[in-house]
Structure 1
Amino acid sequence: MMIFGGVGARWNNLLRGEGLASKAMRGGALTLISFGGSQVLRLASNLILTRLLFPEAFGLMALVYVFMQGLNNFSDVGITPAIMQSKRGDDPKFLDTAWTIQIARGFILWMVTFVLAAPAAHFFDAPLLTQLLPAIGITLFIAAFNPTRLDTANRHLNFGRLTIIELVTQIGALIVAIIAAYILQSVWALVISGILGAVVQLILLTRFLPGHRNRLAWDKTASVELINFGKWVFLSTAVGFFLSQGDKIILGKYLQLETLGIYNIGFFLASFPLLLGGTVTRRILIPIYRERPPKGSRSNFLKLRKMRILLSFVLLSALSVVALWSGPIIELLYDPRYRLAGGILVMIACAQLPQVIVLTYDQAALATGDTRRFFVLTLARTVLLIAGLWLGVEIGGLAGALVGHGLAMVAVYPVVVWLARHQGTWDPLHDFLFAALGFALMGLALWLNQDHVAAVFALNSP
C-alpha cells in the first residue's frame, strides 16, 4: 500500500506541481489535446469540403495554402523563440518592442501580397490568385496584433486557456468555411474563413489571456537583441517556406490541378504526425533546453534522452499507423475519385520517417540562441528537398518526386549530427534505434500497400 501511495503522490505532484517536470507534463498533455482536437476539426472540414467541391478546387486551394504558409513564414522574425529563450522574456519593455516590430512586419507583408499576386497568377496559370492573395494577406496584418501574452504562455508552459482559445477559434473558422463553401461553391470560402478566424483569435487572445497589456513602444537595447536573434530566424523561416511548400510549388507547375488536389489530400493526412512533433518540440523542448541544457551535466543529457526517445516513439508510432493503413484510410474516408491518394499517402509517410530524428534536435539550437546553425540546418534540408523533388519529377513524374523527397531527408543527416554535436545533444543510440525501426516499417508499409503505390508509379511522367 505504501508503494502505491508513493506512486500516487508522485503522479499527483507531477500533475499539479509547479516544477519544470510538472509543467512539461501538463504542457505536453494540453498540447496533445489542442493538436488532436485541431486535427480532428481539420479532418472533418476536409471530409465535408471534398463533398462540396471538386478535386480541381483542391488543387487551387493547395496553391492558396502555398502562399498562406509562405506569408506566415516570411512574417516570422523570431518573436516567439526570442521571448521564450531571452533573459528579458518577461520584461514589459522587451515585450512591447517585440509587439511593435511584429505589427510593422505584418503590415509590410500585407502590402507585399499586392505585389506578388499577378506574378503568382501568371506562374501557376491561375488568374484567380490575383484576387485571392491580397484578400488572404490581410490575415497577416490582423495576426500581427496578437498580444505577446501568447508567447509568455508558451515561455512558462501555461497552455490551459491557450488551448481553449485555439480550439474555439478553429471551431468558428470551420463552421464559417462549411457554410461559405455550401453557398459559394468556391475557394473563396477558405478566404472568408481565414479572415474571420484571425479576427476571432485576436479578440479571444486579447480578452481572455492573462499577462502584460501591450502598447506601441521602442526600447533600443531590446530591439538590438530581437533583431540580432531574429535575423537568422527570419532567414530560417523564409527558407523553411520552401522546405514546407516546395513540393506544392514544383508539383503545381508539373501536375494538373486535379492530380495536385488529390496529392494535397494525401499530404494533408500524412502531415499529422510531424505537425504534432513540431508543435510539441516548439512548446516543450525550448523551455526545457533553456533550463536544463544537455551540456550542463550528464544528468541533464540522460533526462533529455528519455524525453527524446519518448517523443520519437510517439511520432514513429503515429507515422506507422498512417503508412501501414494508408490504403484503407483513403477508401474509408473518401470517394473513388481520391483513390490515388492512398499510394501518395503511404509514400509521403515513408519519406517523412527520417524527419523523426531531426525534430528532436533542431529546437536545441533555438533554445540556446544559436539561430545561425539552425538556419544552416534549415537551408541544407531545403536545398536537398528541392533538388530531390525537382530531379525526381523530371525523371519519374509524381512517383519520382516522392522518392526524391525521401532520399533528401536521409541525405541531410550529417548536417543534423553537426548541429547536435555542437549543442551536446547528439545521441547515436537514439538515432540508430529509430533509423532501424523506421526503415523496417517503411518496407512493411510499401509491401502492404503495393497496389496503391503501383497506381502512383503508373501515372505518366511529365
Structure 2
Amino acid sequence: MHEARVSIGGKSVWTIVVYAASAAIRFLTNIILTRLLAPEILGVVVIAQAIRTGAELLTDMGMEQNVVHSPHGDDERFLNTVWTLQILRGIAIAAVTIFAAYAVSRFYRVDTAVLVAMSAAPFLNSLASTSIFSLSRHLEVKTKNLFELASEAAGLIINVTLALWLHSVWAPIMGILATLAVRSAASYLLPHQRHRLLLDRTFGQAIFEFSKWVMLSSLMLFGAVYADRLFLGHVASLAVLGIYGLARALSDVPSMLATRLAMQIVFPTVAKDQTRADAAARTGLARTRRYVLLLFAVGIATVMAWSDWTVRLLYDVRYEQAGWMLFLLLASSWFAVLAWFGEAKMLGHGMPRSVGVANAIRLAVMMGGLVAGFSLLGLPGAVLALPASELARYGILRVAQRGLPNTFALQDALFTLGFLALLIAWVTIRVSLGLGVPWALMPHAWPA
C-alpha cells in the first residue's frame, strides 16, 4: 500500500516539476516574442494556431487513449496500425487545410500564405513515433515529461532565433513547424517497436469503435478551447486578439498541468485497476489528489488576485489590458482542473460517451455566452463565457460519476470553498493597502 502511494505521488511530483520547467520555457518564449513582435502579429498566430489545432481535434481518433486503454496496446501490429492511421490522418488534414485556407483567410483578414504554411503542421505532427503513447501506457511519467521538456526547450531556441532574424509573422509560424519536426524526429530516439506501414482490419475496427466517442469529445473540446479565439478573431481587431491570446496562455497553465496529471497518471491508473478493487492505489490517488488540489487552489487564487501585477511584471505597457482578462479567465481554470480529473476517471472506466456529452454542453454554454455576453457587455461579457462553460462541464461530469467509486465530490467542494476564501482574502488585503482590485482596468477596456 505504501509503495502504491509513493508511486502515484512520485509520478505526480515529477509531472509538476517538469511542467513547471516547461511553463517557464513557454513564458520565456512569450515574453521574448512580445518584445520582438507587435500584438497584431501575435493575433495572426492565434488564428493560425486555432485553425491548425481545430483541424487536428476535429478528426481526433484518440490514438494515445487507444494505446493506453487497449489490452493489445503492446502488440506490434496494433501499434503499427495506430501509426499508419495517424499518418494517413495527418495527410488528410493537411490537404483539407490547404483547400480551406483561402476562405478562412478572407473571413479573418489574414494572409492566405500563413494558413497554407500552417497546413504542414498536422502532417509533421503525425510522423511522430508511437513510443510517446507507450510511455503513457506504462506510466513512464518521468521519461515522457523530460522528452516533452526537451522538445519545448528546442522550440524556445528555434522561435527566438527566427524572431531575431525575421521580425515578422513568419518567425512564429516557421518556429511552430520546425518545433513539430524536431519533436517528431526525436520521438524515434525513445524505445520503440519496428515501425512499418500496416493496417490490421481487426485492430482498425477496435480503434474506430473506441474512437467514435473520443472524436466527439475532441470536437467539443476544440470548440470549447478555441471558440473564444475564433469568435474574437472575427469581431475584434488582431491587436485585441493578440493581447487576449497572452492572457489565455497564462490562464491555461493550471488546466494544462491538470491535463498532464489527469491523462498521464489518473487515467492510466484507473484504467489499469478498474477490474480489481486496489485499495492501495485508490488511497494513493486520493492522497495525491488532495495535495495537488491544494497546490492548484493556492496558486490560482494568488495569481488571480494579483493578475494585473502579473501582466505588468511579464509584459510591457501594450499588454496591460491582459490583466483583467487574466482575472476572469483564471476563474474558469479552477473548474477546468476539477473537470480534467473527472474526465480522466471516466475514460479510465471506459466511459468516453459521458466525456463527449460534458464537452458538448460546455461548447453550447460557451457559444451562447460568447454571443450574448459580447452583445450585452462587450469584451468582458464574452470572456465571462469561459468560466460559465467550465462550470457547466464540471457539473455534467460530476453527475455522470455517480455510482462510481471514489468520486471525490466532498473533496472538490471543500477545496472550492477554500479557493474562494483565499481569493477574497487576497483582494481584501489589496484594497486595505490601497492597491485597488485586479479587475480595475475592465471598465476602461477598449471597444472590440
Show the 5 A alignment for 1:427-442.
427-442=408-423
User: Relative to structure 1, is the Cα distance of residues 357 and 211 closer, same or farther in structure 2, using a 3 angstrom cutoff?
Assistant: same
Structure 1 residue 398: deviation in Å? 1.2
Is the Cα–Cα contact under 8 Å of residues 77 and 200 in structure 2 kept in the other structure?
yes
Residues 53/456 of structure 1: CA separation in 2 closer, same or farther (3 Å cut)? same
Is the 2:8–2:285 contact (alpha carbons within 8 Å) kept by the matching residues of 1?
Answer: no
Partner of 2:445: 459
1:156-206 Cα distance to aligned partner (Å, 9 max, x none): 111344333322222222212112112211121112112221221122111
Letter in 2 for 1:281: A
Contact 2:298 2:419 in 1 (8 A): no
**Match of 2:209?**
228
Q: Aligned AA for 1:348?
A: L
Structure 1 residue 324 corresponds to structure 2 residue 297: no
Deviates more, 1:29-38 or 1:181-190: 29-38
2:179 is equivalent to residue 197 of structure 1: yes
Distance 1:175 1:76 in 2: 29
The corresponding residue for 1:31 is: 15
| Aligned 8 A contact 1:294 1:423 in 2 | no
1:41 paired residue number: 25
Matches within 5 A, 1:24-173: 24-126=8-110, 128=111, 130-173=112-155
Percent identity reads: 26
Which one-letter code corresponds to 1:373 in the other structure?
Answer: S
Instruction: Answer whether contact 1:177 1:193 (CA < 8 A) is retained.
Output: yes
CA offsets 1:67-98 (integer angstroms, 9 cap, x no match): 13213323521110111111111111111111
Give the partner amino acid of 1:149: S
TM-score, normalization by structure 1:
0.89
Distance 1:161 1:428 in 2: 32
Q: 2:159 aligns with which of 174, 177, 180?
A: 177
Structure 1 residues 413 and 22: alpha-carbon distance in aligned structure 2, compared to 1, 3 A threshold: closer
| One-letter code aligned to 1:79 | M
Cα contact 1:94–1:219 (8 A) shared by 2: yes
Going from structure 1 to structure 2, the CA distance change for 1:300 and 1:157 (only over 3 Å counts) comes to closer
Q: Which amino acid aligns with 1:174?
A: L
1:412 to 1:148, Cα distance in 2 relative to 1, 3 A: closer
Q: For residues 287 and 62 of structure 1, what CA distance do their matches in structure 2 show?
A: 32
For residues 326-356 of structure 1, give each alpha carbon's deviation from its aligned partner in whole angstroms, at most 9, with x where no partner exists: 1221121211111111111112112322223
Displacement of 1:269 after TM fit? 1.2
- Give the Cα separation in 2 of the matches to 1:122 and 1:23: 52
Question: Equivalents in 2 of 1:292, 1:365: separation in Å?
Answer: 13
CA shift in 2, pair 1:410/1:136, >3 Å: same
Range 378-387 or range 410-419, more displaced:
410-419
- Pick closer, same or farther for the CA change 1:244–1:297 going to 2, 3 Å: same
Report the CA distance shift for 1:295/1:358 in structure 2 as closer, same or farther (over 3 A): farther
Answer whether contact 2:304 2:330 (CA < 8 A) is retained. Answer: yes
What letter corresponds to residue 122 of structure 1 in structure 2? R
- Compute the RMSD of aligned alpha carbons: 2.3
2:355 & 2:388 partners in 1: Cα distance? Answer: 21
Q: Give the secondary-structure state (helix, strand or coil) at the position aligned to 1:453.
A: coil
- CA distance, structure 1, for counterparts of residue 410 and residue 142 of structure 2: 35
SS at match of 2:384: helix
Q: TM-score normalized by structure 2?
A: 0.92
Whether 1:334 and 2:315 are equivalent positions in the alignment is yes
* Map of 1:404 onto structure 2: 385
Q: Distance in 2 between matches of 1:163 and 1:372?
A: 28
Tell me what 1:5 maps to: none
Contact 2:97 2:119 in 1 (8 A): yes
Shift of 1:301: 5.0
Change (3 A) 1:350 1:291: same
Structure 1: how far apart are the matches of 2:196 and 2:365? 42
Q: Classify the secondary structure of the residue corresponding to 1:421.
A: coil
**Secondary structure, aligned partner of 1:434:** helix
User: What amino acid is the match of 1:343?
Assistant: W
Residue aligned with 1:271, SS: helix
User: What are the ranges of 5 or more consecutive residues in structure 2 without an aligned counterpart?
Assistant: none
Structure-1 separation of matches of 2:359 and 2:392: 13
**1:269 counterpart = 2:253:** no
Offset of residue 268 of structure 1: 1.2
**2: CA distance between counterparts of 1:413 and 1:196?**
36
CA contact (8 A) 1:60 1:257 kept: yes
Amino acid at match of 1:73: L
Instruction: Write the distance in 2 (CA, Å) between the matches of 1:177 and 1:298.
Output: 47
- Which letter does structure 1 place at the counterpart of 2:445? L
Matched with 1:188 is 170
Q: Secondary structure at the match of 2:416?
A: helix
Question: What is the rounded CA distance, in whole Å, between the counterparts of 2:11 and 2:316 in structure 1?
Answer: 38
Relative contact order (alpha carbons < 8 A, sep ≥ 6): 1 or 2 greater? Answer: 2
Residue identity in the other structure for 1:226: I
